[in-house]
Amino acid sequence: MVETIKIKKGLDLPIGGEPLKEVIDARSIERYAVKPTDFVGFTPRLLVAEGDTVCAGQPLVEDKNDTRLRLPSPVGGTVTAIVRGEKRRLLEVVITSRTGSKSSTNQPNLTPDSPCWWMIKERPFGTIANPDHKPKGIFVSMRDTNPLAPDLDFALKGREHEFEAGIKALEAYGTVHCVKAQGPHPAGNIGTIVAALDPINKGECVWSVGAQDVANIGRWCLTGEYRPERVISVGGPAAKAPKHYRVLCGANVQRISDVQLMDTSYPNMTGSTTTSSTRIISGSPLSGTTIKADGFLGMYDQQLTFIEEGDQYDFMGWLMPGLKKFSFSKTFLSGLMLPFKAMEPLMPVKPSFSFNTNMHGSVRPFLFTGQFERVFPFDIYPLQLIKACIVGDVELQEKLGIYEVEPEDFALCEFIDPSKTEIQTIIREALEVLRKEAMA
Amino acid sequence: MNMKWLEQWFEKIEPKGKWAWLGSTYEAFHTFAFTPKTVTRSGSHIRDAVDMKRSIIIVVIALLPALLFGMWNIGYQTNLAAGTDWGFWHCFWFGLLRMLPMIVVSYVVGLSIEFAFAQVRHHEVNEGFLATGLLIPMIVPVTTPLWQLALAVAFAVIIGKEVFGGSGMNFLNPALVARAFLFFAYPTHMSGDKVWIANDLWGSDAIAGATPMGELAAGMHPSASAIDMLIGTILGSTCETSVIAIALGALLLLFTGIASWRIMLSVFLGGGLMGLLFNAIGYNEYMQLPFYYHFLMGGFAFGAVFMATDPVTAAQTNTGKWIYGLLIGAFAVLLRVCNPAYPEGMMLSILFMNCMAPLIDHCVVAQNIKRRAKRAAIGKEAHNG
């Protein structure tokens, strides 16, 4: 049933802090948040107030543009905070869970009313699936190739029957393709898989569901219990004890970051954390979102990455040999060690680099060409599409294949870009213009 | 190495208030000393260690073998012509003293203009000129007067680059713009028999000596052997004669991935194919010349490695790069053989293809667009049917 695709272009980052194959149960975390900002194009309207008691699966927020799209509470408990940002923009609805609270169990099947609907994403644009659309395929990636991402076979161990039930439920909406991609990142991205099997044309759409969410949908359909559970990988060069954690979606990460940031040089200082110099990312280091040490996991994210902030000067960085710096180009001495891919099995330790968040340079116009193509497995000219997005030429964007991509598909291009352009932001903004035009 | 004191010094002298307009200049020197401490904000939280400065400095390092050889060769050629008996270091020292003023003039004039433009536009100073500024003195005859060089550099930076918006926005290779400016403005200083050998004494009469291509254009067989041309102990522009030194630079550019192997390879392919075609015709001495002589003579190798591969002015698509390179090589040999008025075809050939590169890319990308439109049409049919 599982299809395979083979990708050659791409790059697996040799990043340190790979998590051990060991799962810590963290489902007892008490605070959760639903963040409407995790959902592209979602205009939230609150359905609850502070102090309300909610049960797991009860909608907390709905989309003003389509009230069928609702975001449910991941646990039963009390709404303890509603966090707003600038211009009263709704950022977080915080729930404190109460043990023994029941989840609503009325209609255990997958309909737009069910609490699981948000797990289905739609391309182009990356929104929650529109129930009125008929997707030309539903894609499930069986391998997450992001750096430090969890091994999905490992994460789904013991949930096989739930996974199968989830697939069955999804089949009511279209053909489901479970795809295990081979090759370097971004092989496992939905964008890469769709481009390899059946690229999206203008006016078409595909849906995608995360493999662990398929199991969550399956559980809902089998038992009527809404419990959006995930095994997340917790790692990165700045993580002290990289491991896997079993959590519910939207969990507070305080308990995890306490352990990961513990300053081990002072064994007696219990509970003290060093957060100022470490960035915590919900999601992949290539496309995730920065959160605070007491922040909440993103709804779709299945990894938590700890990376040193690189806010330090680097003396003559452009001239130094750079044995410890990673570059996809071989302009640093470290590049001498990497070309011998064939020798990798012989090496006692896989070379790994402690990446930080430094830009490693200033922003420049595009000078070099032909680099993006090496990490971009699409039948698209990446530089030309990026330029079309910068100048806002909608027609040209369509011709060049904007509907086939999401910002995360450009993550590696952004990573290797010597001009330090914020490509993912550029692509997101272009897609938002198109999405709003399509809605109007 | 603890550089805290320098960090603090830079932070102390940061121009503020009435000096704030000097920001671009300050920024240029600051980022020269330190890679900035800027961190990522969104998107990819981690970034590749490579940046524009690193990439450009690789080009400069790749130029060094040719530059050093060129310095020695300047002295060696004067030595030969004068019939003196200089040692290795004497030759090198002589050439160094001839090259240094040209390099200094090129950098001072070019960078002053770059800084001025950046300052006026409140842009950061782009490091692209670090390569261009070294390239220009390397591709002119050694007897080029400094004032002419200064004019050419100014012309190249202003008209070749800045009027279009600076590095990355230009469509002609600035170094070749400078060379072309000299070639057309001061033709007597750029070609002929009197410009290739440096005088021992300032101001004395020019020493005559023809380059292999000069000899060929005059209908003679080149007096230098293929081995001499390969090593580079022949007359020519200052640093373009040694194919071996250029090859060393090419290896670095190809290993680091800074230059496109597609362009480099296809320029040689194009030139070779055209040479073979002329061999088959065999109408005159020049046509009968073995095809690989074209790679060894004049600026072919230098142009293929350092000029044609300039990513800004080359074709940007991979398919386009093949076409672009093939045509550069072919046109260069065509110009050399069929138009003796321009002994060196490489410069004009690259400049011409610089102009054509956007057109090539347009056609290549149009194929992609056509393919996508076709796919969409099939998809729609399947949907309706």
| Same domain membership, residue A76 and residue A56 | yes
| Same domain membership, residue A241 and residue A282 | yes
| Same domain membership, residue A92 and residue A142 | yes
Q: Which of B38, B45, B52 sits opposite A279 (nearest CB)?
A: B45
Residue A341 resides in a domain: no
- The B residues from 86 to 115 touching A (CB cutoff 8 Å) are none
B12 exposure class (CB count in 10 Å sphere: 0-12, 13-18, 19+): exposed
| Same domain membership, residue A169 and residue A67 | yes
| Same domain membership, residue A135 and residue A153 | yes
Contact across the interface for B47 and A420, Cβ inside 8 Å = yes
Assess B369–A contact: CB distance below 8 Å, yes or no.
yes
Q: How far is A325 from chain B (nearest CA, A)?
A: 6
| Same domain membership, residue A170 and residue A31 | yes
- The B residues from 163 to 192 touching A (CB cutoff 8 Å) are 165-169
- The A residues from 275 to 304 touching B (CB cutoff 8 Å) are 279, 281, 285-290
The number of distinct structural domains making up chain A is 3
- What's the rounded Cα separation, in Å, for the pair B161 and B111? 13
| Same domain membership, residue A170 and residue A25 | yes
Complex confidence, ipTM: 0.91
Residue A315 resides in a domain: no
Residue ranges of alpha helices (H) inside B34-159 are 52-82, 88-121, 129-138, 146-158
| Same domain membership, residue A203 and residue A140 | yes
Residue A145 resides in a domain: yes
- Using the structure block, give the residue that is written with the tokens 């002929």: B192
What are the residues whose beta carbons fall under 8 Å from the beta carbon of A342, sequence distance 6 or more? Answer: none
Residue A210 resides in a domain: yes
* Amino acid, res. A240: K
- Nearest of A249, A227, A225, A229 to residue A107 by alpha carbon: A225
SS3 (DSSP) at A232: strand
- The A residues from 10 to 39 touching B (CB cutoff 8 Å) are 13, 15
Residue A390 resides in a domain: yes
Q: Are A50 and A275 in contact (CB under 8 A)?
A: no
| Same domain membership, residue A287 and residue A209 | no
Contact across the interface for A400 and B48, Cβ inside 8 Å = no
Query: Which residues lie across from A5 on neighbouring strands?
Result: A181
Q: Residue ranges per domain, chain B?
A: 14-36+52-257, 259-380
In tens, the pLDDT along B255-288 reads 999 999 999 999 999 999 999 999 999 888 888 8
pLDDT in tens, chain A (440 residues): 789 999 999 999 989 889 999 999 999 999 999 999 999 999 999 999 999 999 999 999 999 999 999 999 999 999 999 999 999 999 999 999 987 655 555 667 888 888 999 999 999 999 999 999 999 999 999 999 999 999 999 999 999 999 999 999 999 999 999 999 999 999 999 999 999 999 999 889 999 999 999 999 999 999 888 999 999 999 999 998 999 999 999 999 999 998 888 755 444 444 444 445 899 999 999 999 999 988 999 999 999 999 998 888 888 878 787 778 888 888 888 777 655 555 566 665 666 788 889 999 889 999 888 899 999 999 999 999 999 999 999 999 999 999 999 999 999 999 999 999 999 999 999 999 999 998 87
Residue A235 resides in a domain: yes
- Nearest of A214, A367, A161, A347 to residue B170 by alpha carbon: A367
The pTM score is 0.92
Please report, for residues A213, B92, B116, B265, the alpha-carbon distance to residue A299 in angstroms, rounded to integers and kept in the order given: 11, 67, 50, 50
A397 exposure class (CB count in 10 Å sphere: 0-12, 13-18, 19+): buried
| Same domain membership, residue A219 and residue A236 | no
In tens, the pLDDT along A245-289 reads 999 999 999 999 988 887 554 444 444 444 458 999 999 999 999
Q: Which two tokens stand for residue A218?
A: 């399956």
| Same domain membership, residue A265 and residue A210 | no
Q: Which two tokens stand for residue A133?
A: 């659309």
- What's the rounded Cα separation, in Å, for the pair A318 and A327? 12
Residue A356 resides in a domain: no
Backbone angles phi, psi at A68, to 5 degrees: -75, -25
Assess A431–B contact: CB distance below 8 Å, yes or no.
no
Residue A16 resides in a domain: yes
| Same domain membership, residue A74 and residue A149 | yes
Q: Which two tokens stand for residue B365?
A: 């990308």
Give me the CATH number covering residue A263: 3.10.20
Domain that holds residue A266: 231-308
